């Protein structure tokens, strides 16, 4: 008997998602990868859907830093080449719909709700039959993306699959819900210490988890790595019998100038040389550009037509917000999702190279499970004044604790309850030539972006930190 389907509008679809186990926002002591032992639940859900994840050529991207940028560039270029594309990423900035893109755009509300409606009964059947616990929110949304790309939107919508899907790993690689695909090319971007409670406390251990996406028959693009990470990744390549393309060796790049709107780069690939411009700022984005180009060249070798002009157009058109994103020029306001010491150091190193400013004013907030003390140390050395705040994410650290830590480092600090309040105070006190930077968490960067650009967010009141729940619509 076929499971019964419910009819849902968008708000009901969001409520259904929020009722699921959400390891991204959970405050439980054991994070999601410690609660996931295999991918049987994910595989069972996809089997009930007809295994849509296997229907489309796939680029699978893992790493600590830059994986989203690399995936976004690949998706943009393939779209510019005339292909129908799917791009799955997480987390979202302003709406769940951003996680599932078709042709570079987030799904519309009806399409999104239709997928939730279609998958809910299948997920319930999997839970009942396997007895392995409930399908998590991330597993469910991964299934939604694969169904959307491999089969279409579901009943009442166009049944058209995409030509390519670019899939960003959520966390780690080996046990990530996305690691059910059979990719044409895997990309492993730069690996550093992050999510250590989940993935391991050494670079080698984390690299082993990330390298879990490598599969026989797929080409592997490896971005710049520390020696201990590269050793692990290359060992897995040898065991899997796949050929690695090494960024920095097989594919190289040379900076070619920049301004506040973007930067130029010359990439020397294995199949040709490319003069490219990208709106993504930061020295690390040049490395990401080379990694994306390497993956696209692999697709070319497999017979997919990707003209040079499509590569140029795709690089120039890519959008990946909250990555050294200039939101306002006067006053100068920048949002960046740097959330670990490695990415924070790279951000602070890039700022003076790309932007002209006198003083750095920081709106800072962090998740409690990050290396907060080291990021505070890095910011306190550069910032003229810090506005310590928190995002709406339930794992965000309390502003009072952050303010105390910044003050202990000698930084002039102002405690603020919300990102919007912190931004308002920073702008009210800003002097000509100041740069106001929102950083420390992708969620802080997203809320800063909402405040500057007037973007209405999706609010999930039940998931707010306790001290913000009472404020309701104010946040």
The CATH class for the domain spanning 325-474 reads alpha beta
- Grade residue 38 by pLDDT with cuts at 50, 70 and 90: confident
DSSP state for residue 343 in the 8-state scheme: H
Highest mean pLDDT among 3-7, 195-199, 315-319: 315-319
- Grade residue 199 by pLDDT with cuts at 50, 70 and 90: low
Whole-number Å distance between alpha carbons of 193 and 342: 8
Task: Tell me the two tokens of residue 208.
Answer: 């082993």
The average pLDDT across 107-123 equals 96
**Which of 132, 122, 147, 120 lies closest to 51 in space, CA to CA?**
147
Whole-number Å distance between alpha carbons of 232 and 226: 10
For the stretch 389-404, pLDDT in tens is 999 998 899 999 999 9
**Burial classification of residue 23, based on how many CB atoms lie within 10 Å of its CB (0-12 exposed, 13-18 middle, 19 or more buried):** buried
Mean pLDDT score of the chain: 91
Domain map (residue ranges) of the chain? 10-317, 325-474
219 backbone dihedrals φ, ψ, rounded to 5°:
-75, 155
Whole-number Å distance between alpha carbons of 248 and 237: 18
For the stretch 135-182, pLDDT in tens is 999 999 999 999 999 987 654 444 589 999 999 999 888 999 999 999
CATH 3.40.1190.10 for domain 10-317, yes or no, is: yes
pLDDT at 77 over 90: yes
């Amino acid at each position: 008997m076929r499971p019964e389907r419910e009819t849902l509008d968008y708000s009901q679809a969001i409520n259904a998602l929020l009722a699921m186990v959400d390891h991204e926002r959970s405050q439980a002591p054991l994070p999601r990868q410690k609660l996931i032992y295999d991918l049987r639940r994910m595989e069972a859900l996809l089997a009930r859907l007809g295994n849509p994840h296997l229907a489309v050529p796939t680029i699978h991207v893992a790493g600590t830093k830059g994986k989203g940028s690399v995936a976004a560039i690949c998706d943009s270029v393939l779209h510019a080449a005339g292909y129908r594309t799917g791009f799955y990423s997480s987390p979202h900035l302003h709406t769940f719909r951003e996680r599932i893109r078709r042709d570079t755009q987030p799904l519309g509300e009806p399409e999104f709700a239709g997928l939730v409606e279609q998958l809910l009964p299948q997920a319930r059947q999997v839970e009942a039959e396997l007895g392995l616990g409930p399908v998590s929110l991330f597993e469910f949304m991964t299934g939604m993306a694969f169904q959307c790309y491999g089969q279409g939107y579901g009943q009442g919508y166009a049944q058209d699959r995409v030509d390519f899907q670019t899939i960003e790993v959520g966390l780690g690689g080996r046990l990530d819900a996305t690691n059910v695909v059979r990719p044409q090319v895997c990309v492993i971007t730069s690996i550093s210490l992050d999510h250590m409670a989940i993935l391991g406390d050494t670079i080698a251990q984390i690299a082993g988890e990330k390298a879990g996406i490598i599969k026989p028959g797929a080409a592997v693009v490896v971005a710049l790595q520390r020696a201990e990470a590269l050793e692990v990744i290359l060992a897995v390549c040898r065991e899997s019998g796949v050929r690695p393309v090494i960024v920095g060796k097989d594919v190289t790049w040379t900076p070619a100038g920049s301004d506040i709107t973007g930067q130029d780069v010359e990439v020397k690939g294995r199949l040709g040389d490319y003069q490219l411009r990208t709106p993504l700022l930061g020295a690390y984005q040049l490395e990401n550009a080379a990694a994306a180009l390497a993956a696209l060249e692999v697709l070319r070798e497999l017979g997919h037509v990707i003209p040079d002009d499509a590569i140029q157009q795709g690089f120039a058109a890519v959008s990946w917000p909250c990555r050294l994103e200039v939101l306002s020029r006067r006053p100068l306001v920048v949002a960046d999702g740097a959330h670990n010491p490695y990415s924070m150091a790279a951000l602070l190193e890039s700022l003076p190279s790309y932007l002209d400013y006198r003083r750095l004013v920081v709106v800072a907030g962090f998740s409690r499970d990050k290396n907060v003390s080291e990021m505070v140390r890095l910011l306190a050395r550069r910032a003229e004044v810090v506005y310590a705040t928190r995002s709406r994410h339930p794992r965000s650290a309390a502003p009072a604790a952050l303010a105390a830590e910044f003050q202990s480092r000698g930084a002039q600090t102002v405690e603020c309850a919300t990102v919007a309040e912190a931004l308002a105070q920073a702008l009210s006190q800003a002097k000509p030539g100041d740069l106001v930077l929102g950083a420390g968490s992708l969620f802080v960067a997203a809320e800063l972006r909402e405040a500057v650009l007037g973007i209405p967010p999706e609010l999930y009141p039940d998931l707010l930190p306790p001290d913000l729940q009472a404020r309701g619509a104010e946040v």
